[in-house]
Amino acid sequence: MTDTPLPDEVGEGPPIHLPPSISDVEPVLSVRTPIRLEYDFIPSAAAQQYLRAYASKRILGNRSPVDGAVFVPPRGVDPRNGVVAAEMVDLVDRGHVGSFCVTHLPIPGRKDLPVPYVSAWIHLDGADIGFLGLVAGCAAADVRIGMRVRAVWKPDAELGATAENVLHWEPTGEPDVPVAEAGNRAWALKQAATGGGDGA
Amino acid sequence: MGGERTAVLGVGQTHYRSTRGDVSMAGLVREAAMRALADAGLGWSDIDAVVIGKAPDFFEGLMMPELYLADALGCVGKPILRVHTAGSVGGSTALVATSLIQGRIHRRVLTLGFEKQSESNATWALSLPQPFSVSINAGAGGYFSPIMRQYMVRSGAPELVGCMVAFKDRQHALSNPYAHLRQHDLTFDQVVEAPMLWDPIRFSETCPSSDGACAMVLGDEAAGDASPRPVAWVHGTAMRSEANNFPGRDEVNPQASRDCAADVFRQAGISDPRREIDVVEMYVPFSWFEPIWLESLGFAERDRGWRMVEEGATRLDGGDLPVNCSGGVLSSNPIGASGMIRFAEASLQVRGLAGDHQVDGARMALGHAYGGGAQYFAMWVVGADKP
């Protein structure tokens, strides 16, 4: 491919005439202007229920009134069907790894996180979607899709209405969930078993 | 596909670099636009409207840049429309522009995608703390790594297939004068030995951060017939999207991707994509997405896409379905332009104007883009002949 020449109009452009007072000052070619934006997050009703329960080591999910799918964290709706999902269910603090990433890059603001660390989709028992969590308590090389994990909570005195209450998820030592049933694949199997609709 | 026949009359690209410090955003987009106009043999006054896209504004921290760029794009007093679909935006933008021709709203439209990644930090812009979630996601690589791992486990693909994709695309880039990464001395062993960033993704298997813009001039049938240079005719256009997390979601082969491919091939009258498509420009920012999309798009059976990589089927040199002859996103990644580059490079191939990375005799090509959590899809099929 030839490098299509730019029409003359672009070229160098017309000469720029500076006032004498600044004619021998070094030209400014770029300016770095860091910006920040802070905002207050006001949780929805479902989120408030979830975060308050989470502060006492309870994990709440929402059950869809349409097909019974359980969402965690709860949003108060089943977004697939556009309906309110008011029913809250208690979930256990154990599940399995749907899939994961071994990250070798330090994250700004997380100096506490040793590199490499494992971020994983955590699928709680009884929930039908996963969420992101840190896996620790074993070597990164030993983490597997389907590995059973449980929550390691912060000391009670440090708990609050925040997503940070679970320090990480550690292996339970139980047998793995088979890969073919791990993560989101469980939903299709469940639907097939109960004669439900198309889970995809 | 209904409506007015649409032709790609001209393509213009900037050189993709880590920093284009010699130009502002306005200078960057104008450079691509002027090359596209020159390629089409047209001037600013021939353009009826502009459709522009880029990645989210918080990347560079400049809100609604299209407002100030209208001047640089010769668009004062004309309609300008901005498209937002994350990483797929370059593709979606081209499709919105196409729809304005198909719907006979305009006769000639300038469409353009750009990014000035040197003025931002995409990795950390994509890792904003979320109120419900712990802050452990390190950029797009951290997000997509689990999907690639799932693919590797379920397909049984050999571990080095990703490295083969990365090495191939970097070799292809050597034939593209606009490509950002042009690593003449790169060896396959260096790709393999590069440090892991987001296991299973090595540094060598990730896209660069680029500054750049890509533009196309689209026209109606009469404009296509009157064009002084070969044109590409649009045979099919499709967009689909889905949520990034719901019960039963197949992250490796999303429903939206399969539906989008089925729609675009149906419009183009294509029943056997592997045989009927001559060349593909596919959105592969991380190496393993080549076999993943080969399967999702119907070029390979489920869990067999990696074999096409291993057999060299996707190589410009000797492959029967060359993929990313331009070097792809793995060699140049001005995010908001990356999808449009795929569409533009597909057009250059069927126009016979792809230069040193031309696939001999290419008549039908697929341009493909994805974005978000592999949840937004945009595709078009372009051909040398009228549909």
Q: Which residue has the higher pLDDT, A181 or B125?
A: A181
Q: Is residue B231 part of a domain?
A: no
d(CA B290, CA B306): 8
If pLDDT is split at 50, 70 and 90, which confidence band does B99 have? very high
Q: What is the pLDDT of residue B60?
A: 87
Longest Cα–Cα distance in chain A: 84
Tens digits of residue pLDDT in B180-192: 999 999 999 999 9
Tens digits of residue pLDDT in B43-54: 999 999 999 999
If pLDDT is split at 50, 70 and 90, which confidence band does A167 have? very high
Which DSSP state fits A176?
A: P
d(CA A186, CA A193): 11
Q: What is the pLDDT of residue B240?
A: 97
For residue A121, the distance in angstroms to the closest alpha carbon of chain B comes to 8
Q: What is the mean pLDDT of residues B69-75?
A: 93
d(CA B261, CA B297): 6
Considering only B111-125, B159-173, B198-212, B287-301, which range has the smallest mean pLDDT? Answer: B111-125
The torsion region of residue B333 among left (phi > 0), alpha (psi -120 to 50) and beta comes to beta
Considering only A37-41, B10-14, B322-326, which range has the smallest mean pLDDT? Answer: A37-41
SS3 string, B333-375, reads CCHHHHHHHHHHHHHHHHHCCCHHHCCCCCCEEEEEEEECCCC
Q: Which residue has the higher pLDDT, B200 or B132?
A: B200
Compute the mean pLDDT over every residue in chain B, rounded to the nearest whole number.
Answer: 95
Residues B146, A179: C-beta atoms closer than 8 Å: no
Looking at the predicted structure, is the pLDDT value of residue A14 above 60?
no
User: What are the C-alpha distances in Å from B284 to residues B17, B210, B263, B332, B371?
Assistant: 18, 15, 21, 11, 11
d(CA B81, CA B97): 9
Chain A residues within an 8 Å CB radius of B205 = none
Q: Is residue B14 part of a domain?
A: yes
Q: Is residue B188 part of a domain?
A: no
Q: Is residue B286 part of a domain?
A: no
Residue closest to B236 by CA, chosen among B324, B342, B367? B367
Q: Is residue B335 part of a domain?
A: no
A54 near B CB under 8 A: no
How many percent of chain B have pLDDT more than 70? 97
* Domain of residue B112, residue span: 7-122+210-226
Q: What is the pLDDT of residue B1?
A: 61
Q: What is the pLDDT of residue B137?
A: 72
For residue A120, the distance in angstroms to the closest alpha carbon of chain B comes to 8
Q: Is residue B71 part of a domain?
A: yes
d(CA B64, CA B5): 31
Q: What is the pLDDT of residue A4?
A: 58
Tens digits of residue pLDDT in A185-197: 889 888 888 765 5
Length of chain B in terms of residues written = 387
Q: CB within 8 A of B289, min separation 6: which ones?
A: B144, B148, B282, B283, B370
Looking at the predicted structure, is the pLDDT value of residue A16 above 70?
no
If pLDDT is split at 50, 70 and 90, which confidence band does A1 have? very low
How many percent of chain B have pLDDT more than 90? 88
Most A-contacting residue of B23, B246, B326 (CB-CB within 10 A), to test interface? B246
Q: Which residue has the higher pLDDT, A109 or A72?
A: A72
Q: What is the pLDDT of residue A20?
A: 85
CATH number at residue B25: 3.40.47.10
The CA-based angle A170-A174-A176, given to 5 degrees, is 90
Q: What is the pLDDT of residue B275?
A: 97
Chain A residues within an 8 Å CB radius of B358 = 1
Q: What is the DSSP string of B95-135?
A: HHHHHHHHTTS-SEEEEEEEEEGGGS-HHHHT----TTS-S
Tell me which residues of chain A, numbers 130 to 169, contact chain B at a CB-CB cutoff of 8 Å: 130-134, 140, 145, 163-164, 166
Cis peptide upstream of residue B129 (ω within 30 degrees of 0): no
User: What are the C-alpha distances in Å from B177 to residues A172, B173, B214, B263, B354?
Assistant: 54, 8, 14, 34, 11
Residues B136, A134: C-beta atoms closer than 8 Å: yes
Torsion of CA B44, B50, B55, B60, to 10 degrees: 50
For residue B30, the distance in angstroms to the closest alpha carbon of chain A comes to 9
- Give the position of tokens 């090509």: B365
Residues B199, A116: C-beta atoms closer than 8 Å: yes
Check if the beta carbon of residue B49 is closer than 8 Å to that of residue B109. Answer: yes
Chain A residues within an 8 Å CB radius of B179 = none
Rg, chain B, Cα only: 19
If pLDDT is split at 50, 70 and 90, which confidence band does A28 have? confident
Residue closest to B6 by CA, chosen among B219, B231, B217? B219
d(CA A120, CA B339): 29
Q: What is the pLDDT of residue A190?
A: 86
Q: What is the pLDDT of residue A7?
A: 54
Tens digits of residue pLDDT in B225-266: 999 999 999 999 999 999 989 999 999 999 999 999 999 999
A188 near B CB under 8 A: yes
Check if the beta carbon of residue A162 is closer than 8 Å to that of residue A127. Answer: no
Choose among A43, A140, A187: nearest Cβ to B131.
A43
Q: Is residue B375 part of a domain?
A: no
Q: What is the mean pLDDT of residues A164-180?
A: 95
Q: What is the pLDDT of residue B122?
A: 73
d(CA A101, CA A98): 11
Residues B136, A69: C-beta atoms closer than 8 Å: no
Chain B residues within an 8 Å CB radius of A3 = 177-178
If pLDDT is split at 50, 70 and 90, which confidence band does A10 have? very low
Cis peptide upstream of residue B200 (ω within 30 degrees of 0): yes
Q: CB within 8 A of A94, min separation 6: which ones?
A: A124, A125, A148, A149, A150, A151, A172
Considering only B115-119, B223-227, B283-287, B329-333, which range has the smallest mean pLDDT? Answer: B115-119
d(CA B232, CA B339): 17
Residues A199, B247: C-beta atoms closer than 8 Å: yes
- Give the position of tokens 């636009």: B33
Choose among A30, A105, A121: nearest Cβ to B197.
A105
Looking at the predicted structure, is the pLDDT value of residue A11 above 80?
no
Length of chain A in terms of residues written = 200
Chain A residues within an 8 Å CB radius of B130 = 163
Q: Is residue B31 part of a domain?
A: yes
For residue A21, the distance in angstroms to the closest alpha carbon of chain B comes to 25
Compute the mean pLDDT over every residue in chain A, rounded to the nearest whole number.
Answer: 87
Looking at the predicted structure, is the pLDDT value of residue B364 above 70?
yes
d(CA A103, CA B123): 13
Q: What is the pLDDT of residue B375?
A: 94
Residue closest to B176 by CA, chosen among B231, B214, B120? B214
Phi and psi dihedrals of B346, rounded to 5? -60, -40
Q: What is the DSSP string of A133-174?
A: EEE-SS-GGG--TT-EEEEEEPPGGG--SSGGGEEEEEE--S
**Position B201, amino acid:** I
Q: How many domains does chain B have?
A: 1
Check if the beta carbon of residue B366 is closer than 8 Å to that of residue B82. Answer: no
d(CA B243, CA B254): 10
